[in-house]
Amino acid sequence: VTGQKPSVGRIVHYVSYGTPGGEYPSVCRAAIITEVGQFEPGSHEEHRAAEVGLCVLNPEGIFLNRGVRQDELPPPDRIVAGERSEHRGGTWHWPERT
């Protein structure tokens, strides 16, 4: 879902960090956008425009995070063999359509 701009109050997914051994996989958590970076187009910080602050709603507790990067994947039918098919931990994305 490209073209959507993050804004305060939208609900997105935050990807938790899994444990390196795989005991806990990284999973999507609901998160509310608390702030959106204001970066001038053309400025050297423009690439940070998709960074947001999040209030992450974990089942075990809420935590607040700032400067979280967006990490979108291609749609499932467009993922090429060998390409990454999972979101990186510590990033956000628009909720998948189910």
Please tell me whether residue 13 binds Zn ion under the rule CB under 5 A.
yes
Please tell me whether residue 29 binds Zn ion under the rule CB under 5 A.
no
Rounded to 5 degrees, φ, ψ at 77 are -80, -5
Please tell me whether residue 28 binds Zn ion under the rule CB under 5 A.
yes
Please tell me whether residue 55 binds Zn ion under the rule CB under 5 A.
no
- By DSSP bridging, strand 61-70 and strand 52-58 are antiparallel
Nearer to Zn ion, 28 or 36 (CB): 28
Question: Coil, strand, or helix at residue 33?
Answer: strand
Smallest separation, CB 42 to Zn ion (Å): 31
Among candidate residues 73, 66, 72, the one with its CA nearest the CA of residue 92: 72
The span of 22-30, 49-57, 61-69, 70-78 binding Zn ion (CB under 5 A) equals 22-30
Nearer to Zn ion, 2 or 38 (CB): 2
Smallest separation, CB 87 to Zn ion (Å): 7
The dihedral sign for the CA sequence 5, 9, 90, 13: negative
Residue identified by tokens 């050297």 is 44
Contacts with Zn ion by CB under 5 A lie at 13, 28, 96
